[in-house]
Amino acid sequence: IELAGGDSSRAVALFQEARRDTDKSPKLVKQIEYWLGRCYRQQGRSEQEVQAYRRAVSIPPIDDPMPREALGDALFRQGRYDDALTQYQVIATESRPATMLQKTRLSIIAMSRRPAIGRNWEGIESDVEALVVRLPDEPVAQLLKMKLLMIRGRLEDAATFLDSLCEQHPDQ
């Protein structure tokens, strides 16, 4: 309630107190750590945010998507793309569209940052194609495909793909 009302400092104090007073139920502690992370995000305290989410994901079940996605997003905002990608890879089997899109986006960023000689795009290309098929009306999936084609230097393919999208969706 305090967090929703905008008083994240009060919410942090309440969550920290609850964490001390809890009967150490792992499920409850996990939720407290997650919400502490949300408070720290609202306060702009990114390192404390990451630490809270890391504590949350360390409590079983470790593949719980909510705190892991939050950790991945926090790491992404810090520019720690490889670390963020690791978090999304853990939960990618969830098959949630937003998770898959973010994982693929991070994969493209991470691969782009490698030296050209060490890049292997095959897995990423497969992921992008699967997203486009699975989410044909999702603009982010289409944009990821365009970005990948352009990064790979396949500008004609990117233009052809864009033309086909325009034909399929003339009203957009």
What pLDDT, on the 0 to 100 scale, is given for residue 21?
66
Radius of gyration of the chain (CA): 20
Residue 88, φ and ψ in degrees, nearest 5: -70, -30
**Residue 17 to residues 41, 44, 54, 79, 117, Cα–Cα distance (Å):** 19, 21, 19, 32, 52
Average pLDDT of span 31-47: 88
Q: Are 160 and 145 in contact (CB under 8 A)?
A: no
Q: How sure is the predictor about 1, in pLDDT bands with cuts at 50, 70 and 90?
A: very low
d(CA 32, CA 69): 16
Q: Which percentage of the chain shows pLDDT scores above 90?
A: 22
Residue whose token pair is 């194609």: 129
Report pLDDT digits (tens) over 66-107.
888 899 999 999 999 889 888 888 776 555 787 788 888 888
d(CA 77, CA 100): 18
Q: Are 101 and 138 in contact (CB under 8 A)?
A: yes
Report pLDDT digits (tens) over 104-147.
888 898 888 888 888 899 989 988 998 888 888 888 888 899 99
Residue whose token pair is 């940052």: 113
